[in-house]
Each structure stands twice: as structure tokens, then as C-alpha cells.
Amino acid sequence: MRLQVRLTVYFEDPFWVGVFERRQEGRLTAARVVFGAEPKDYTVYEHFLRGWRSLRFSPPVAAGEEGARAGNPKRAQREAARQLARSGSGTKAQQALALLHEESVRQRKENGKRRREEDRQRQYELRKERKKEKHRGH
């Protein structure tokens, strides 16, 4: 069992964001952390050490194979520029984070629906009780 962890820190206006990617057995999960101001190296490392257990990782998605690194630095630079220019599909980590977001939205909707239904039932019981009180002549 081989575990790979990668942290990418980038600026997403107006905050600095870190994306933890965890690859294990061909599956990728991701967690997103908002740092706020530009984090120092020791801040990122401390967050990695102390906050690892509290990270909420996304459901696993199939991880694509990572290709061998190019020996030519210019080629690597051009490839990185191409990947940054590409828009729409997103990386596997972004897809995993989107999956996590969709799951939390679905859960929030379910909880809201359940609370509304409980509230309606409670209001109905109150109305029934009031009608019963009126009927008794009190």
C-alpha cells in the first residue's frame, strides 16, 4: 500500500488556499484549506503536521496515471503553462473537491427539508391542541 500526499498552495483572490491531495491504491481524495494571508513555509508545515487529522477529504475518485517527468526544463515549463491556460475540466483534485461540495450541499438540503417537515408537524399538533381546547369550551 503506497500513499502519496501533495500540497499545492495558490492565491485565489482574496485568500491563499492550500489543496491537499492524497493518492492511495489508484484513488485520489482532496481537501481544501483556506490560509487567509500568504502563509510562511513553517505555517504550512505546522498545519500539515497538526491539522492533518481534522482535514475533511472528498470522496475518492479514480486517479489518472502520472507520467514520467520530462528531462527538459523548457518542455516542463511549456507543459505547466499549457495546463494553467487550460480551463473548464479542472484537475482531479478540483473534481474531488467539487464532489465534496456537492455532497455537503445535498446534506444541507436534506437537513433543511427534515427540519421544515418537523416544524410543520409541530405546528399541526399545536393547531390540533388549540381546536381541542376550544371545543371543550375553555
User: What is the pTM assigned to this prediction?
Assistant: 0.48
3-state secondary structure (DSSP) of residue 121: helix
Q: What is the pLDDT of residue 36?
A: 78
Q: Judge whether residue 117 has pLDDT over 90.
A: yes
Q: Point out which residues pair with 5 in neighbouring strands.
A: 22
Name the pairing type of β-strands 27-36 and 15-24: antiparallel
Q: What is the pLDDT of residue 88?
A: 45
C-alpha separations of 118 from 16, 43, 106, 111, 123 in Å: 40, 45, 18, 11, 9
Cβ contacts of 16 within 8 Å, gap of 6 or more: 9, 10, 34, 35, 36, 37, 38, 39
**If you average pLDDT over each of 17-21, 57-61, 64-68, 88-92, which comes out highest?**
17-21
pLDDT band at 98 (very low <50, low <70, confident <90, very high): confident
Average pLDDT over residues 106-121: 95
Q: Judge whether residue 82 has pLDDT over 60.
A: yes
